[in-house]
Chain A
Amino acid sequence: MRRYGLRGVAVFYLVAVLLGPLAMVFYRAFERGLHPLWSSLTDPNTIHAFKLTLEITALAVPVNTVFGIVCALAIVRQRFPGAGIVNAIVDLPLALSPVVVGLMLFLLYGRTGWFGSWLQGHGITVLFATPSMVIATIFVSLPFVAREVVPTLRELGDEQEQAAHTLGASGWQTFRRVTLPSIRWAVVYGVVLTTARCLGEYGAVAVVSGHIEGKTETATLRVQDYYENFNQAGSYGIAIVLAAISVIVLLAMTLLRPKEEIA
């Protein structure tokens, strides 16, 4: 009986917190038929917002994937003083509110900020433009790959890598032929989480972007825009597309992943 009780709680929680609101979003989007939904989604500013979101994601995900793997390798494999501190710092973006992250970037890259004034002098605009949005997104989505890879690397141990070394493999060959194939599913999972985080980023980007329609407006900002202008179909429509992209990425990963990993 207790098993069913536990299951009941889990299912109820998921329905109430996750599925319910999601269903509501779908319902609201289609409430007034397809026409208002379609016209909102095909609005040039909306299309621009999607393009911008995808561009930012396409930049942030590879950067954080490489960084995450390098970071995890450093934390697990290198014996250096301060490895624990690095490990903790990687988690910082999870602990900080994205709005605070945005504010930090604002202070750094603003006209009177540390980097901002220097960059301004060289004719580079970061704030209220794509660069600051990419930086903000990279910052908030930074921990996911490292977080997934670190425990996998720990569990893997370094004997296989040492064996590869004694068989003549260089550091890079060992990484490519032994380490990477062993951690690949952790990396893939990390990438999926990073992608989802990038697509959904709002707070930090809202602060640094300036929220200029058709210029620095991402899909999530566009949702807010529509919502504030009482275009419910539009805001829910974009929300659905964002959700759909995340679901597709998740599904793709689940399908690609073999049923039973050979241990």
Chain B
Amino acid sequence: MSIEVRNVSKRFGSFQALDDVSLDVDSGSLTALLGPSGSGKSTLLRIIAGLEQPDSGEIRLAGEDATVVAPQKRGVGFVFQHYAAFKHMTVRDNVAFGLKIRKQPKAAIKARVDELLGLVQLQGFGHRYPAQLSGGQRQRMALARALAPEPKVLLLDEPFGALDARVRAELRTWLRKLHDETHTTTVFVTHDQEEAMEVADSVVVMNEGRVEQVAGPRELYDAPANEFVMRFVGEAISFDGDLIRPHDLEITLDAEHGAREAQIERIVHLGFEARCELTLDDGEQIAVQMTRTRVAELELEPGQIVLVRRPGVRIGRELPNVLG
């Protein structure tokens, strides 16, 4: 089911959460709403779900105006950051909730719940209470619960935000796989650019209640629409008045045209890659990202004077010289 957001604004007191936001989410896509806290991404998701009402603007689901449709009737599944598990119900009853509300026959409910518990790998946990599950298990239960009534849209609000790094990574992969199997239109909110890039087909970057850019992960990184996107998605440094990526710079030892002198302050090893922290001839501090092989080749060491240059100019299409 496609989602269209048309000129939606929302204000909480004196805080403008959303400012004339328009967005199209294709049917069957997997979209991330990415932005810092307070950027309006969660509010937008909650408005799509019907949990908040926009002050102005329109929400269209599958081409039909759903702005004033109750959340019960929108056919959306919603997953909350803090699980929102029904604490007084067993895992099985949690998952069955939406089906019982729809008064489906008992045998059908049982079969569907078994299927979903299998899907989220919680077979054998059906009779436990949410308090007896780990965070990751609780969130998988919440996912199964949201999926049970076969929603046409799955909305997830920072679904992995409360989990530790390893479980996060696991669930990300799992969500991607789930989407590839079911093709349910999915929108998830995250403030983690890596998570957005890894999981989503399409990333919507939001800032201060507005959409800054909508693009695929690769385009977003290679062709950020503006300085905010450039800085928010991946690292950015300024060099000769331009905003560039740390690996857009190259360290050489041969004198070349356009190269600038710099002293190595520190070399940080990050596994396959290494980051050289440098002080330029004008006293400015920058970091250059390179492979460890290259560091070894050049026999780089702290204190050494090297040359820094830009092999190719790679900067946002619309704003070729952001800082200039």
Please report A residues at the B interface, Cβ cutoff 8 Å. Answer: 159-160, 162-170, 173, 177-178, 181-182, 262-263
In the complex, whether B166 has a CB less than 8 A from a CB of chain A is: no
Q: What are 10 A-to-B residue pairs whose CB atoms are below 8 Å?
A: A162-B78, A163-B78, A163-B142, A164-B97, A165-B70, A167-B77, A167-B98, A167-B145, A262-B131, A263-B87
B84 touches A163 (CB 8 A): yes
Known: A262-B87, A262-B88. A166 touches B78 (CB 8 A): yes
A169 touches B101 (CB 8 A): yes
Question: Which residues of chain B are within 8 angstroms of A168 by Cβ–Cβ distance?
Answer: 72, 98, 101-102, 149
A166 to B98 alpha-carbon distance, docked (Å) = 9
The 8 A CB mask of B84-109 against A (1 = contact, 0 = none) is: 11111100000001100110000000
A195 to B28 alpha-carbon distance, docked (Å) = 57
Please report B residues at the A interface, Cβ cutoff 8 Å. Answer: 49-51, 70-72, 74, 76-78, 80, 82, 84-89, 97-98, 101-102, 129, 131, 142, 145-146, 148-149
Q: Distance (Å) between the CB of B12 and the closest chain A CB? A: 11
A177 to B87 alpha-carbon distance, docked (Å) = 11
Known: A163-B78, A166-B76, A169-B72. A182 touches B101 (CB 8 A): no
A178 to B86 alpha-carbon distance, docked (Å) = 7
Q: Which of A164, A166, A177 has the most CB of B within 10 A?
A: A166
Question: Which residues of chain A are within 8 angstroms of B97 by Cβ–Cβ distance?
Answer: 164, 167, 169, 177
A226 to B310 alpha-carbon distance, docked (Å) = 103
Question: Which residues of chain A are within 8 angstroms of B131 by Cβ–Cβ distance?
Answer: 262-263
A167 touches B51 (CB 8 A): no
Question: Which residues of chain A are within 8 angstroms of B70 by Cβ–Cβ distance?
Answer: 165
A182 touches B51 (CB 8 A): no
A181 CB contact (under 8 Å) in B82, B88, B129: B88
A215 to B262 alpha-carbon distance, docked (Å) = 102
A166 to B70 alpha-carbon distance, docked (Å) = 9
A262 to B145 alpha-carbon distance, docked (Å) = 20
Question: Which residues of chain B are within 8 angstroms of A167 by Cβ–Cβ distance?
Answer: 77, 97-98, 101, 145-146, 148-149
Question: Which residues of chain A are within 8 angstroms of B142 by Cβ–Cβ distance?
Answer: 163
Q: Which residue of B lies closest to A182 (CB)?
A: B88
A159 touches B80 (CB 8 A): yes
B51 CB contact (under 8 Å) in A165, A181, A263: A165
Q: Distance (Å) between the CB of B74 and the closest chain A CB? A: 8
Q: Distance (Å) between the CB of A164 and the closest chain B CB? A: 7
B51 touches A162 (CB 8 A): yes
Question: Which residues of chain B are within 8 angstroms of A162 by Cβ–Cβ distance?
Answer: 51, 71, 78, 80, 84
Q: Distance (Å) between the CB of A87 and the closest chain B CB? A: 20
Question: Which residues of chain A are within 8 angstroms of B50 by Cβ–Cβ distance?
Answer: 165-166
Q: Distance (Å) between the CB of A160 and the closest chain B CB? A: 5
Q: Which residue of A lies closest to B74 (CB)?
A: A166
Q: Distance (Å) between the CB of A233 and the closest chain B CB? A: 48
Other than the given A162-B71, A162-B78, A168-B149, 15 more pairs (CB < 8 A) read A159-B84, A162-B80, A163-B78, A163-B84, A163-B145, A165-B50, A165-B70, A165-B72, A166-B49, A166-B76, A167-B77, A178-B86, A181-B89, A182-B87, A263-B131
B86 touches A170 (CB 8 A): no
Known: A262-B131, A263-B87. A163 touches B101 (CB 8 A): no
A181 to B93 alpha-carbon distance, docked (Å) = 13
Q: Which residue of B lies closest to A180 (CB)?
A: B88
A167 to B146 alpha-carbon distance, docked (Å) = 7
Q: Distance (Å) between the CB of A90 and the closest chain B CB? A: 26
A173 to B49 alpha-carbon distance, docked (Å) = 19
Q: Distance (Å) between the CB of A204 and the closest chain B CB? A: 38
Question: Which residues of chain A are within 8 angstroms of B89 by Cβ–Cβ distance?
Answer: 181
B86 touches A160 (CB 8 A): yes
A33 to B91 alpha-carbon distance, docked (Å) = 59
Q: Distance (Å) between the CB of B289 and the closest chain A CB? A: 41
A161 to B76 alpha-carbon distance, docked (Å) = 15
